[in-house]
Structure 1
């Protein structure tokens, strides 16, 4: 259940039941002894691997017996630096330009300077299909970068402006971790909490998920899932229902 853990994995169910592509993928998976379903096999967490690095190593990944590859977040993030840094101090921002910028979205569009472009992602997924490997993408709907001027104007406009992007409680730091209201509406570690119940945000985020699927993604890992309210959780002042999970899992229709 999403509220019980830091993350949740959702597998995309293919609309097609039989096609040459699906049969070819299954054949390749069988060649390497890989499981048919994500939950039945081993997942390689390709932490901070670029899309091109994953693609270039796909044969070895299959040979090692991994059914699935989990990528780091594909969303846009701050691009002040030209290369990803795993370590390195900055006098103003501490460790700047590091891997966790991927976990601080500036927009929900595919591609960032740390991992690669949308085309790189698509090519990686195509190569995964050649070996019968599934692809899971780490996704973060819960919050954005704290550097608000870096958040995309397209995102602000799509959700009705900055005030509508965040919870009423979204800039108040969580102090009581056993309090579900604070944990699902408050700011975690300085990261402003997105109003995931806003229908305009839900529609925008689903476009991102659908684009990932169109490019070849087979499932998602939801980061900080326990910080997004389930229907029984207390409501933020801006919300009428905690329906993010029913919407993204297809139990309820999204706006439009």
Structure 2
């Protein structure tokens, strides 16, 4: 079996010729549920509001990202680890990422740049601090007491396993009524709690937010989420965090009636194909693998949790990570979410901050990885937008780590993850004849390309060499005049 034996430090161009006999694959599932023509989400993990606003104007809008997912904006525990953002102490829009006014300005700026805003909303629980304390914005709180918001009767106390923590994920009651690592678990079956959560979400909607990522959705019955959704003041895009577990009683499919759901298997299986198995197996990647319906799935190579847990490709994998993201953005299954990380050496390490734990302005490639700006990833967002709605045709693989496919009449990607170049071949694209920017290695702007140009002949073919651990991508939105 061919296995990848080295990681690409960077992607470089190969040019020359090959003959691939294309085949077709079954038409892809229906388009994913994010509305509008620009569907790609980018998670700017722990960026402050000023930096998010600047990024919408400078990069996200121009590159065609449809949505920016921002970290939780509510007041939280005051400490340094990244996870304090997921420990609310009040629903004031005041956090180490900025003030309410800065948040409002960010939403307006992103909208002006053509980018919608998704908020990571923590609705399953409050803090996990046994002795309480004082929150970021000065609010005093206890583990089960949040003055003016919640008191002891608003929480679950499952009383199992010597404490209130979840121990058995094969027990639905525990998963949805016990605590996730001591986080005070809200009684979401209570109408008061539902109303209070909806009040928080409606406050964000009043600031112009377009949707929510509902953190910890697996730990709430789908019916509770539906009841909260029914209290929203207007429609909003929803994606729910429900981690698949084989044989577990709580399954992601239960939640699709509320909105989209994260497909956690995607990133792990994609990493497995790139690291240990064969890209050839990806020819039917998606629902045929037992995944959620494409129209309900949000997929990612990694997110802030999985990159710390292992088993996925992350920014540390450099060129290989870029290739995996290129595939994700070219393949039509689900709504793709691109991760943008800060650099970390320990699991709990927080984002770059000042002495008071306030998140500092983002400086890409200096404490912040900014994967969404990597040319391969950023340019493939345009590929995704240009090929929206087109099926997969002209699939080719060599049985191992070299694959190629068209997005019917709109785009073409070939990936070579072998340890040597593929040369002396031609590729059938089915694209109109013309000169196209190879967006893996160049940026298309104002009718010209900063990198290599691929010429498709009148029969729809082009000749090229694809270097080891490299790719070529062309699409109709990057065709030279």
User: Aligning the two structures, in what range does the TM-score lie when normalised by the shorter sequence?
Assistant: 0.5 to 0.7
Per the alignment, residue 142 of structure 1 pairs with 124
Tell me how far apart the structure 1 counterparts of residues 184 and 125 of structure 2 sit (CA, whole Å): 6
Q: Which has the larger radius of gyration?
A: 2
Question: What pairs with 1:1-256 in structure 2 (closer than 5 Å)?
Answer: 37=35, 41-59=39-57, 60-80=59-79, 97-113=80-96, 115-147=97-129, 149-150=132-133, 156-158=146-148, 161=151, 163-169=152-158, 172-231=164-223, 244-250=224-230
Q: Higher helix fraction: Structure 1 or Structure 2?
A: 1
1:165 and 1:198 in contact (8 A); partners too: yes
Structure 1: gaps (5+ residues) = 1-34, 81-96, 232-243
User: 2: CA distance between counterparts of 1:252 and 1:118?
Assistant: 20
Unpaired runs of 5+ in structure 2? 1-32, 234-481
Whether the 8 Å contact between 1:167 and 1:185 is mirrored in structure 2 is yes
- Whether the aligned pair in 2 keeps the contact of 1:172 and 1:186 (CA below 8 Å) is yes
Q: Per-residue deviation at 1:40?
A: 5.4
CA RMSD, 1 decimal: 2.6
Q: Deviations over 1:93-136 (max 9, x none)?
A: xxxx11110011111221202x1111111000010111121000
Q: Secondary structure at the match of 1:156?
A: coil
Q: Deviations over 1:27-68 (max 9, x none)?
A: xxxxxxxx9826951001010111110111112111121000
TM-score where L is the length of structure 1: 0.67
Q: Is the 8 A contact 1:164 1:198 kept in 2?
A: no
Tell me, yes or no, if the aligned pair for 1:140 and 1:222 is still in contact at 8 Å: yes
Structure having the higher strand fraction is 2
Which residue of 2 is the match for residue 237 of structure 1? none
Secondary structure of the 1:44 match is strand
Deviations 1:2-43 (A, max 9, x none): xxxxxxxxxxxxxxxxxxxxxxxxxxxxxxxxx982695100
Distance in 2 between residues matched to 1:117 and 1:178, nearest whole Å:
41
Higher-RCO chain (CA-CA 8 Å, sequence separation at least 6): 1
Q: 1:145 to 1:251 in 2, by over 3 A?
A: closer
Provide the aligned length of Structure 1 versus Structure 2.
189
> Which stretches of structure 1, 4 residues or more, deviate above 6 A after TM superposition?
none
